[in-house]
Chains A and B, each alone.
Chain A
Amino acid sequence: MADQNDHYGLRYKVWRVVYRLLCVSVYAFLMLPILVIIPLSFNAQPYFTFTREMLTFQSDGFSIRWYQELVTNPNWRLAIGNSLAIALAATALSTFLGTLAALGLSSPYMPFRKSVTSVVLLPLIVPLIVVAAGTYFFYSQIGLAQTLPGIIIAHTMLGTPFVVITVTATLSGFDRGLLRAAASLGATPFRTFFKVVMPLISPGIFSGALFAFVISFDEPVIALFLAGFDQRTVPIQMWSGIREQLSPDILAAATLLIVLSVLLLLTAEWLRRRSARLRSGQS
Chain B
Amino acid sequence: MPLLAFIVVFFALPLVDMMARSFYDPKVADSLPETMRVLDTWDFEGLPPEAAYASVAGELLDLNEAGTLGSLALQLNHEIAGARTILLRTANELDGDDAAADGSFQDRLISIHPQWGEQEFWSTLKIMGEAFTLRHYLGAFDHRYDAMGEIVARPEYEQIHLMLFGRTLWASALIVLLTLLLGFPIAYHIANSPPHVGNLLLILVLLPFWTALLVRTAAWIVLLQQQGVLNDLLVALGLISDDGRLRMMHNMTGTIVAMTHIMLPFMVLPLYSVMKSIPPVHMRAAASLGAPPFLAFVRVYLPQTKPGIGAGCILVFILCIGYYITPALVGGRTGQFISSFVAYHIQQSLNWGLAAALSGVILVAVLLLYLLYSRVFGGDSIRLG
Interface residues of A (CB under 8 A from B): 8, 12, 15, 19, 22-23, 26-27, 29-31, 33-34, 36-37, 40, 47-50, 97-98, 100-101, 104, 114, 116-139, 141, 153-154, 156-157, 160, 162, 165, 211, 214, 217-218, 220-221, 224-225, 234-235, 238-239, 242-243, 250-251, 254, 257-258, 261-262, 264-265, 268-269, 272
Contacts and interface: CB of A to CB of B under 8 A. Distances in A.
B325 A220 contact: yes
Given A48-B221, A119-B7, A261 B204 contact: no
A27 B170 CA distance: 26
A187 to B, nearest CB: 24
Interface string B196-229: 0001010111111011111111111111010111
Given A22-B185, A251-B218, 18 more contacts: A23-B186, A26-B183, A48-B227, A48-B228, A122-B12, A123-B7, A124-B382, A127-B366, A128-B324, A129-B322, A129-B339, A129-B343, A136-B346, A138-B13, A139-B14, A238-B215, A265-B207, A269-B206
Contacts of B356: 133, 137
B379 interface: yes
Nearest to B330: A242
Interface string B323-351: 11100010000000001001100110000
Interface residues of B, number: 81
Chain B contact residues: helix, strand, loop or mixed: helix
A265 B210 contact: yes
Given A117-B380, A125-B370, A126-B366, A134 B208 contact: no
Contacts of B228: 48-49
Interface stretch (B15-23, B72-80, B82-90, B109-117): B15-23
A254 B3 contact: no
Contact of B205 (A30, A121, A242, A243): A30
B352 A137 contact: yes
Chain A contact residues: helix, strand, loop or mixed: helix
A98 B3 contact: yes
Contact of B212 (A48, A122, A126, A218): A218
A138 B293 contact: no
Contacts of A261: 207, 210-212, 215
B240 interface: no
B359 A257 contact: no
* Max count, chain A CB within 10 A of own CB: residue among B4, B218, B347: B218
Given A33-B261, A126-B15, A120 B4 contact: yes
B158 to A, nearest CB: 22
B271 interface: no
B321 interface: yes
A138 B14 contact: yes
Interface string B363-385: 10011001000000001101111
A129 B384 contact: no
Nearest to B343: A129
A30 B214 contact: no
Contacts of A8: 292-293
Contact of A137 (B14, B201, B232): B14
* Max count, chain B CB within 10 A of own CB: residue among A114, A265, A272: A265
B217 A242 contact: yes
B380 A127 contact: no
B152 interface: no
Contacts of B10: 135, 153-154, 157
Contacts of A15: 293
Nearest to A12: B293
Given A123-B11, A127-B321, A265-B206, A258 B2 contact: no
B223 A33 contact: yes
Contacts of B292: 8
B18 A134 contact: yes
B3 to A, nearest CB: 4
B21 A217 contact: no
25 contacts: A19-B185, A26-B185, A30-B204, A34-B207, A37-B222, A49-B222, A97-B2, A119-B7, A120-B4, A121-B380, A127-B366, A128-B324, A130-B15, A130-B366, A134-B359, A136-B346, A137-B17, A137-B18, A137-B21, A220-B325, A234-B212, A242-B217, A257-B215, A258-B215, A262-B210
